[in-house]
Amino acid sequence: GSADQKVKSKLKNPFLKVEDRRCRYRPFYLQLSSFPVVNYSNPRPCSPFDVEKKNAHGQKHIHNKQRNPTNSDREKRPNQVPPKHKRRKGYCECCMKKYEDLHAHIESEQHQKFAKSSQYQVVDDIISKFSCDFLELRENTPNVKRRKCNV
Amino acid sequence: MRDPAGEIGWVVTVGQPTLEPLSPGVTRVLEDEKDKEEKSPLVMEAIHLDEKPPSNAENSFKKHESNKKGALTDIEKLYQAVPQLANVFRIKGKIGEGTFSSVYLAIGHLRGGREEKVALKHLIPTSHPVRIAAELQCLIIAGGQDNVMGVKYCFRKNDHVVIVMPYLEHESFSDILDSLSFEEVRNYMFNLLRALKRIHHFGIVHRDVKPSNFLYNRQLQQYALVDFGLAQGTPETKVELLKIIPSETQQRSSAYHKSPLTMGSQVTSPTSRQLVHQSATKTANKRLSSISQTQIKQGHKRKEDPDCHCVQRSVFGEKNFNVRSSAFQGRSTVKQPRIMDIPVRKLSVKKKATSVVNNGLGKKAASSTQAHLTCDCYAKDSVCTICLSRRQQVAPRAGTPGFRAPEVLTKCPNQTTAIDMWSAGIIFLSLLSGRYPFYKASDDLTALAQIMTIRGSRETIQAAKTFGKSILCSKEIPAQDLKKLCERLRGKTTNFDNSAGDVQMHPSQEFPLTVGIGNVSDSAFHASKKHIQYQKQSTHEDGGKEKKTLQKSSDPKGWDRVPNSAYDLLDKLLDLSPATRMTAKEALLHPFFRNVKQ
Ligand SMILES: [Zn+2]
């Protein structure tokens, strides 16, 4: 049986191990090079757990920002969003399927079939109870006449 | 890097994986992602945002133009996906992007002709209709009151759903953290807790409470808790659709992104985790499908004991995701052979990245009869093939690592509204310490280690026992005094009239306070300079109060007079044990909020 082939391994310090008290599940653990320390000398508002090289704080920060312009951009313009992060990979809950490319998947036959299916009735039922406060712009005559929207 | 959680607006649902702080082991993969991002059309986007909003005619012209160029902006794509939008709204720009949605600012005309700004939340088209409907139901039932975002309307075309919500212009938390007065912090927390009291009253667990999901308009003193995209229901929830979203589905974040990465020296294989989650999601979605088809209201209460998952079939009649029985394996192999691969890791604990080896042993050992085999590794500093071949516990963990409660981080299957209270405590900790993000961890156990550093290892271990978890920590770390911790981290501009002995030195940690104390005049100067800046910004708000504060206190922002009740409340929100953690209702009655203006 498996007991013959049992291989045991000691965790290396420092570590953290979490297990179910009834031993029904696989333990999970983390071995660190060093345990976290509250670093009071990190400049505000940085996390006290920010791991920066002790000697070259400031430099490292600047370096990081240069390397990652999207992030520093975001800090300056909180209400606008930097260009899209192309997250193409993912999992489709509708098709119960992993995909490599979001757009390719959405256009796939299987997904399109779902998209046009009656599965969305549960959403439409809710939508049907809304009333729209907004006026509808008439096609190609914006800002002239409006009627109540009826979408 | 100041804000890994992303202050990009307010739908950053799950910790955006490509922006999260990275542990060394994962850096390479994600940096590749970043490189790609940097090449995306920044310039085009920026120009578009500055443009006058397109009318229908302009819009179709532009569509034509950009089609010629071969690239559509996100706004144009949205108009195309949901054409009804163009009849009602002028979309001005994208204001937020998360894993599962993007948010746009748009302008519509109300019946009287008055313009109104709205936020359009475009959900990722891979969202399950029941999840979409549940999010809408949360907004309808709980929203629109007590600082909970409401909903105005919703558009759908096929798989594209756009939720229309009132727009609240808001601050970036990291931008204002430094300049907030103590009184503003008190009001912020009071209003956050009001929102949480409201959603918890309806049995909604938000799961992703963090500053970017709590909009704050400082000028107007308006607040809004947003984004129910990861919400779950309590067993008594009044949001019916939340009852039929199995919590396993909430793990879509992990299924999406954590997959190809190895987490530092963590031996747990992310690949296997991903596969488990994936199958979990599948199963969950089978439930979703069957329910949304039949529209039966089930009195199904999710069983808390995960054991019932592995032996019985669920009430929906599908196979259980958490089983590794050979029967299940056989059936699944046809469709998804990989899911049932039980990875047994080579015990290469000395290596940084771990290799996944399928040696066949795991499959045997993990069969349902052997899953309960015990070994002598329990509560010891070792692991073996027996314990490692047990099935992985699946518990909800959607959200952002730094805001996850200990019971989430340790995969406790029974999670309550208390997890939101923990997150509120983390926000409070940020506000009191002036640090954001406070915890900086890319994985759950690093986050747990950081929590232990603040709350103590013994205390954390003790609390974990109450929810069925054994934590073994190679190092004993004392709990910190929250007041001293926050004051030191805030680098008080103040303590010059307090006794400096108040702050306890910790020999093992370097502590630069000596510098601060040595330069009292410097820090006082710094404080007054900041105060002038702040007065400029805020002449309209709180004018009278500011003056009063000035007379009474050396710190115009009141940070030298933080009452002990603040730290008492913080202590009760950061209660390591979910059963005793303070509820929102209780917190609002805490002495800290005495005389808060409502
Ligand atoms: Zn799909």
The pLDDT assigned to B440 comes to 94
Clarify whether residues B475 and B564 are in a common domain: yes
Angle at B51 between CA B48 and CA B54, to 5 degrees: 95
How many Å lie between the centroid of ligand 1 and the Cα of residue A113? 9
CATH code assigned at B148:
3.30.200.20
The pLDDT tens digits along chain B (598 residues) read 343 433 333 433 333 322 222 222 222 222 223 333 332 322 222 223 333 333 444 444 444 444 444 567 999 999 999 999 999 999 999 999 988 999 999 999 998 889 999 999 999 999 999 999 999 999 999 999 999 999 999 999 999 999 999 999 999 999 999 999 999 999 999 999 999 999 999 999 999 999 999 999 999 999 999 999 999 999 999 999 999 875 444 444 443 333 322 223 333 333 333 333 333 344 444 444 433 333 333 333 333 333 333 222 222 222 222 222 223 233 332 333 332 323 333 333 333 333 333 333 333 344 444 455 678 999 999 999 999 999 999 888 788 889 999 999 999 999 999 999 999 999 999 999 999 999 999 899 999 999 999 999 999 999 999 999 999 999 999 999 999 999 999 986 544 444 333 333 344 333 333 333 333 333 433 444 334 343 434 444 444 444 444 455 588 999 999 999 999 999 999 999 999 999 999 999 999 999 998 7
Clarify whether residues B488 and B570 are in a common domain: yes
Whole-angstrom CA distances from B65 to B56, B62, B91 are 14, 5, 18
Clarify whether residues B129 and B214 are in a common domain: no
Is B206 part of any domain? Answer: yes
HSE toward the beta carbon, residue B219, CA cutoff 13 A = 9
Clarify whether residues B83 and B142 are in a common domain: yes
- In the listed set B141, B166, B191, which residue is the last one of a domain according to the structure? B166
Distance of alpha carbon A43 from alpha carbon B489, whole angstroms: 9
List Cβ<8 Å contacts ≥24 apart for B327-334: B329/B363, B332/B279
Is B185 part of any domain? Answer: yes
The pLDDT assigned to B336 comes to 32
Is B1 part of any domain? Answer: no
How many Å lie between the centroid of ligand 1 and the Cα of residue B70? 25
The annotation places the binding site of B at: 121
A145 close contact with B: CB closer than 8 A:
no
Is B212 part of any domain? Answer: yes
Q: Are B44 and B73 in contact (CB under 8 A)?
A: yes
Chain B positions touching A126 (Cβ under 8 A) are 133, 136-137, 140, 154
The pLDDT assigned to A136 comes to 87
Sequential DSSP letters for B267-296: -S-HHHHHHHHHHHHHHHHHHHHHHHHHT-
Contact call for A9 and B97, based on CB within 8 A: no
What stretches of B188-323 adopt beta strand conformation (E)?
A: 204-205, 214-217, 222-225, 232-233
- In the listed set B103, B134, B166, which residue is the last one of a domain according to the structure? B166
**Residue labelled with tokens 């509250």:** A38
Is B374 part of any domain? Answer: no
Q: Which of A9, A84, A95 sits opposite B384 (nearest CB)?
A: A9
- In the listed set B166, B184, B200, which residue is the last one of a domain according to the structure? B166
Is B229 part of any domain? Answer: yes
The pLDDT assigned to B208 comes to 96
The count of CB pairs under 8 A between chains A and B is 418
Clarify whether residues B214 and B92 are in a common domain: no
3-state secondary structure (DSSP) of residue B302: coil
Catalytic residue check, B305: no
Clarify whether residues B451 and B567 are in a common domain: yes
Clarify whether residues B162 and B181 are in a common domain: no
The pLDDT assigned to B280 comes to 39
Clarify whether residues B102 and B203 are in a common domain: no
Clarify whether residues B145 and B210 are in a common domain: no
Angle at B550 between CA B549 and CA B554, to 5 degrees: 100
**CB-based contacts of B41: which residues, under 8 Å, 6+ apart?**
A83, B71
Clarify whether residues B201 and B82 are in a common domain: no
CATH code assigned at B197:
1.10.510.10
A84 close contact with B: CB closer than 8 A:
yes
Report which of residues A131 and B299 the model is more confident about: A131
B410 close contact with A: CB closer than 8 A:
yes
Options B146, B159, B208, B522, the catalytic residue: B208
Q: Which residues pair with B542 in a beta bridge?
A: none
The pLDDT assigned to A6 comes to 78
**Residue labelled with tokens 């002709």:** B113
List Cβ<8 Å contacts ≥24 apart for B321-324: B321/B248, B321/B276, B321/B279, B321/B280, B321/B282, B321/B283, B321/B284, B321/B394, B322/B276, B322/B280, B322/B391, B322/B394, B323/B368, B323/B391, B324/B363, B324/B366, B324/B367, B324/B368, B324/B371, B324/B391
The pLDDT assigned to A81 comes to 43
Closest CA to B205 of B177, B236, B178: B236
The pLDDT assigned to B294 comes to 31
Closest CA to B598 of B147, B210, B167, B176: B147
The pLDDT assigned to A88 comes to 76
Domain count, chain B: 2
* Residue B159, domain extent: 74-166
HSE toward the beta carbon, residue A86, CA cutoff 13 A = 15
Whole-angstrom CA distances from B168 to A60, B97, B180, B213, B539 are 35, 16, 19, 12, 21
Is B149 part of any domain? Answer: yes
Is B331 part of any domain? Answer: no
How many Å lie between the centroid of ligand 1 and the Cα of residue A107? 9
Q: Which of A41, A44, A130 sits opposite B153 (nearest CB)?
A: A130
Distance of alpha carbon A119 from alpha carbon B29, whole angstroms: 36
Sequential DSSP letters for B348-404: -TTSSS--EE--SHHHHHTSTTTTT---TTTTSSEEEHHHHTSPPP-----S-GGG-
Q: Which of A3, A23, A94 sits opposite B159 (nearest CB)?
A: A94
Chain A positions touching B508 (Cβ under 8 A) are 37
Q: Which residues pair with B162 in a beta bridge?
A: B122, B155
Clarify whether residues B409 and B472 are in a common domain: yes
Contact call for A24 and B375, based on CB within 8 A: no
The annotation places the binding site of B for ATP at: 121
Angle at B431 between CA B234 and CA B449, to 5 degrees: 65
Clarify whether residues B183 and B113 are in a common domain: no
**Tokens for B584?**
């929102």
